[in-house]
Amino acid sequence: MKQTLFFDRHTALGARMVDFAGWQMPIQYPQGIVAEHLTTRKHAGLFDVSHMGRFSLTGDGAPAFLRHVLTNDCEKLTAGQAQYTILANDTGGAIDDAFLYRLTAEKFLLVVNASNKEKDWAHLQEQVFGFSDVVLEDVSDEVAMLALQGPKSETILQSIITEGTLPEPKRNALGKVSIGGTQVWAARTGYTGEPACFELFIPAAEGALAVWDKLIEAEAGPIGLGARDTLRLEAGLPLYGHELGTGKDGKEIPIYAIAQAGFAISFTDPNRQFIGRQALEAQAHAKIFYKSQDYSETAALPKMVRQMRLLDKGIARDGAAVYYESRPVGWVSSGTMVPFWEYQKNGQAVQLTDEHSQRAVGLCMIEPNVSVGSEIEIEVRGRKLKAKIVAKNLENHQDSTAYAVI
Amino acid sequence: MMIDSEARYLKTHEWAKKDGGVFVVGLTAYAIEQLGDIVYMELPEVGKELARGDAFGIVESVKSASDMYAPLSGKVVEVNEQVPDSPDVLKTDAYGAGWLIKIKAGDAAQFDSLMDADAYRKFLETEA
């Protein structure tokens, strides 16, 4: 079992450690999943995400290779920008979803899921054959990775920076800063739905532990994998193995099933023949028809991932059957009880209060005609619980605060 | 208090205590600690007939849903409705205010066949 650089920090904080994709990771700290979720939404959460895979791609040929092997177009990035992207297969399914960071014109960093790292590496090794001037390296051990997410994250990060300024704009920008002499790449990315969000890439050998300590001293709350999952779920973000990869029916999930596909796939350059393009174009085509309520051709995209909120008491979890007008239409792909801060709205302004509550939310994979606003039923232990398909469970206020849509 | 010396136990971490003519049933402090934040519970209706080993309710944390099992056969005569509304009491008083149901047992001798506090303590050591 592997340990990240921060293992001793987690145990010293009293974290409950679990095995995750071959790593010993904190599932929760003594505060618990509910408190950690709430800390991130109102204050700032610090996540050790060093278990994720980090691949460096350099050389003049790197862009051409990335434009072949990833669904998004890396040439849309200038140095200092990042994008959501997918490693697709020929049939339009996902080998993995990933984030691509363009550090400089010829230097890219690809961050992949811990659970798919070996598979991704083998795929990239196989595909890079035939491309020249590309150096592909696994830098996961050399570069530590932390996420800092939540409304106070910018103030906290600002307070420990000794040189340089945080990158702008607030979404997907990337820049180099110095923290006590350690050169850190700070990216405005994350997996929590927080509009104020950072992911930090820190040389493992030089001061990564000091950066963790400084962030904790500046009162960022440590957050485990449990709350990481509830945060992404509330934000409606997909998780490989649930909303991407293989579905509960054993079939490959078409990438366009997820709402984020449009941000991850680029057809702009008609001459770019990336892996999976043909199949993905067929999926995109089906989705256009769905938008005008035409569900006559569903072969390319038989199910869509939608967000739901339970109306009845209870919790609908991964695997529960979903019914619409008494007919089975799919299943819950992720779901649990998630806490939220109550809030007051004065005109446009949103103010989180000190009261919190909870609600059962989730993602489900269902037939495309079951659109937003539909009432569905979810089978839980033989009973059918009422739920509603919603556009979103989380809303952003002024690029600083995320709050619950109730 | 991790273990109540008055109580008898199941390996599935339910406890039972004698209270006059009925048996009070709850979840052990160990189980509650292992579950983490409890976010949802279902308890039976008063009047429900339970056989020993029947699931009498559900306890759910963010990560999991678990059945709770009856330590004795009998009829549910009282349910602590406050616990599902404010499960924090389980963390502070698992063997007192955090009780879940009261059972009027058909065969009181079933109680004596449950693990006593020492046996449960030894069982927890093997679990850890």
Question: How do residues A245-296 score in pLDDT, each as one tens digit?
Answer: 999 999 999 999 999 999 999 999 999 999 999 999 999 999 999 999 999 9
B65 vs A: CB within 8 A: yes
Distance between CA atoms of residues A73 and A78, nearest Å: 11
Residues 6+ apart with CB under 8 A from A281: A267
Paired strand residues for A109: A56, A101
Q: Do B37 and A336 touch (CB under 8 A)?
A: no
Q: Do A51 and A21 touch, CB atoms closer than 8 A?
A: yes
- B33 and A CB contact within 8 Å: no
Q: B128: pLDDT confidence band, cut at 50, 70 and 90?
A: confident
For residue B2, being part of any structural domain is answered with no
Question: pLDDT per residue over A295-305, tens digit each?
Answer: 999 999 999 99
Strands B49-50 and B55-61: unpaired
- Classify domain A51-139+240-299 at the CATH topology level: Alpha-Beta Plaits (3.30.70)
Segment (H or E) for A81: strand A81-88
Contact A333, A242 (CB under 8 A): yes
Q: Cβ atoms within 10 A of the Cβ of A60, count? A: 11
A contacts of B39 (beta carbons < 8 Å): 34, 315, 336-337, 358
Which of B 109-128 lie inside 8 A of A, CB atoms? Answer: none
d(CA A347, CA A345): 6
Q: CA angle, corner A19, sides to A16 and A23, nearest 5?
A: 110
The domain in which residue B37 lies consists of 8-127
CATH code where residue B98 lies = 2.40.50.100
Q: pLDDT value at position B1?
A: 66
Cβ separation B39–A34 shorter than 8 A: yes
Residue B1 lies in a domain: no
Tokens of A237: 């973000």
Report the number of distinct structural domains present in chain B: 1
Please report the pLDDT score of residue A136 as a whole number: 98
Q: Can you tell me the ipTM of this complex?
A: 0.91
**Residue B62 at interface with chain A, using a CB cutoff of 8 Å:** yes
Task: Return the axis-axis angle of helices A33-42 and A225-234, rounded to nearest 10°.
Answer: 60
The residue ranges of every structural domain in chain A are: 2-50+141-232, 51-139+240-299
Distance from CA of A335 to the nearest CA of B (A): 9
Contact state of B36 with A313 under an 8 Å Cβ cutoff: no
Stretches in chain A below the pLDDT threshold 50 = none
- Residues A183 and A195 sit within 8 Å (Cβ to Cβ): no
Span B20-79, pLDDT tens digits? 989 999 999 999 999 999 999 999 999 999 999 999 999 999 999 999 999 999 999 999
Q: Do residues A54 and A143 make contact, with C-beta atoms less than 8 angstroms apart?
A: yes
**Which chain A residues are within 8 Å of B42, Cβ to Cβ?**
314
Class of domain A2-50+141-232: alpha beta
